[in-house]
Amino acid sequence: MKDLFERIIEDKGPLGNWAKQAEGYFVFPKLEGPISNRMFFNGKKVLTWSINDYLGLASRPEVIKADADAAAEYGLAYPMGARMMSGHTDFHEQLERECAEFVNKESAYLVNFGYQGMVSAIDALVSKNDIIVYDVDTHACIIDGVRLHPGKRFVYKHNDVESMEKNLKRAERLAEKTGGGILLISEGVFGMRGEQGKLREIVALKEKYNFRLLVDDAHGFGTLGKTGAGTGEEQGVQDEIDVYFATFAKSMAGVGAFFAADKDIIQYLQYNMRSQMFAKSLPLAMVKGALKRLDMIRTMPELKDKLWIIVNALQSGLKNNGFDIGSTNTCVTPVYLKGEIPEAMAMVHDLRENHGVFCSIVVYPVIPKGLIILRLIPTATHTLEDVDETITAFSDIREKLENGTYKKIGAEMA
């Protein structure tokens, strides 16, 4: 018999094996200073494209004041206990009502964290007799929720309607035997590729197949749709989404998340989601801060308008300069390059140290070997000058990647 930790010490995983070279710089970097388009990294001010603060709310004076006032009045402990036991307040109910109204649903339920909430909601919504059908590129929180499912699940190719329908047919045949139902899960916006989920096409399949639809709209909420209510509003199918999910961690620049659906479904989640039944309530300072943020999203459409000026300038500029940004049709802007992990590390070091540009780097095992994604998150705090500076920097690093400069440097780092 082996010691449990022997394997862990010998093999730290695809990313962990690079910890010596990467930690503190490529992974677990420390961005400091006010959250904005320019922050400090390793003592230097850098142009930052790695913060999910889409609408630029994080450092707005009125947001900071709302947070500070609520913390001064209530502290960070109140209310104590889980919502079901002793952690319930009028303000929690108010935020739920306003979230539900904003996304055009009957009812809503707050959760403490988006990741934890999604895992727990999937666990609550399906039984061992039910079948899950989901997109292969869904977020890790969905994957982990599906892993908890004791019944059958089928995965379809990313945004592939033919594959989706094929797996719905398989699910229906199995459900007829088990006596269960079908839950289809998609993202509103796929956070790595930046593509919208094909919600309109999914909804059309409801005419042929009996399933319910759960949509994770973490990146769509606040950024898409006429009012900012998300991908369902953008595609005109919000009413056909059975369970809508959004997080406060992106456009709302906060902590927490919510589910929205018909009242009966939300009540079921309230009484059956283990992550909320057995977890402390979201602190009131965060709840009141979220109310302020939601009010700003509703009443200040210029925030979203400014965001999209930057998004359109960045994406069109990259494409005009020959960069591959895939088929993104949202704010998320991936730049696809070819190279191995050592080359990617050398390239990003050059980008940060010599060009003063900080963005997230995505490599294997998140994406296939030999592929590098530089992932840019435009925000309302960015400027058109930031866009021009970034495209110039990217042109330089692409040339060095293609002429083998980073391969030589990477070989020395490995």
pLDDT of residue 207: 95
216 pLDDT above the threshold of 90: yes
pLDDT of residue 414: 60
Residue 335, beta-bridge partner list: 374
Q: Check if the beta carbon of residue 278 is closer than 8 Å to that of residue 304.
A: no
16 pLDDT above the threshold of 80: no
pLDDT of residue 10: 81
Q: How far apart are the first and last CA of the chain?
A: 33
**Residue 323's pLDDT band (boundaries 50, 70, 90)?**
very high
Closest listed residue to residue 213, CA positions, set 127, 280, 125, 147: 125
pLDDT digits (tens, 9 = 90+) for 63-106: 999 999 999 999 999 999 988 899 899 999 999 999 999 999 99
212 pLDDT above the threshold of 90: yes
Q: Check if the beta carbon of residue 373 is closer than 8 Å to that of residue 365.
A: no
Cα 284 to Cα 9, 78, 89, 397, 406, distances in angstroms: 42, 6, 8, 46, 49
Q: Which domains does the chain have, with CATH numbers?
A: 4-54+301-413 (3.90.1150.10), 61-299 (3.40.640.10)
**Residue 146's pLDDT band (boundaries 50, 70, 90)?**
very high
Q: Check if the beta carbon of residue 186 is closer than 8 Å to that of residue 165.
A: no
Q: Any alpha helices (H) in 186-262, and if so which ranges?
A: 199-204, 231-235
301 pLDDT above the threshold of 70: yes
How much is the average pLDDT of 227-238? 97
pLDDT of residue 258: 97
278, amino acid identity: F
Both tokens of 116, joined, read 């934890």
**Residue 25's pLDDT band (boundaries 50, 70, 90)?**
confident
pLDDT of residue 342: 87
Q: What is the mean pLDDT of the chain?
A: 94
**Burial group, residue 399, by CB count within 10 angstroms (0-12, 13-18, 19+):** exposed
pLDDT digits (tens, 9 = 90+) for 246-281: 999 999 999 999 999 999 999 999 999 998 888 999
19 pLDDT above the threshold of 90: no
Residue 32 half-sphere exposure toward CB, CA atoms < 13 A:
7
How much is the average pLDDT of 14-33? 82
Q: Check if the beta carbon of residue 285 is closer than 8 Å to that of residue 357.
A: no
40 pLDDT above the threshold of 90: yes
**Residue 411's pLDDT band (boundaries 50, 70, 90)?**
confident
**Residue 413's pLDDT band (boundaries 50, 70, 90)?**
low
Closest listed residue to residue 111, CA positions, set 3, 10, 237, 255: 255
Sheet holding 360-362, edge to edge: 333-338, 371-376, 360-362
Q: Cα-Cα-Cα-Cα dihedral of 149, 152, 156, 162, to 10°?
A: -140
pLDDT of residue 293: 97
pLDDT of residue 347: 92
3-state DSSP call for residue 119?
helix
pLDDT of residue 144: 93
165 pLDDT above the threshold of 80: yes
Sheet holding 38-41, edge to edge: 31-32, 38-41, 44-48, 357-358
Planar angle of CA 164, 331, 287, nearest 5 degrees: 95
Q: Any alpha helices (H) in 254-300, and if so which ranges?
A: 263-272, 274-277, 284-299
pLDDT digits (tens, 9 = 90+) for 379-405: 999 999 999 999 999 999 999 989 888
pLDDT of residue 167: 97
Give the integer Cα–Cα distance in Å for 185 and 245.
11
How much is the average pLDDT of 116-137? 95
pLDDT of residue 132: 97
Give the integer Cα–Cα distance in Å for 239 and 245.
13
Give the integer Cα–Cα distance in Å for 317 and 313.
6
Cα 266–chain centre separation:
22
18 pLDDT above the threshold of 80: no
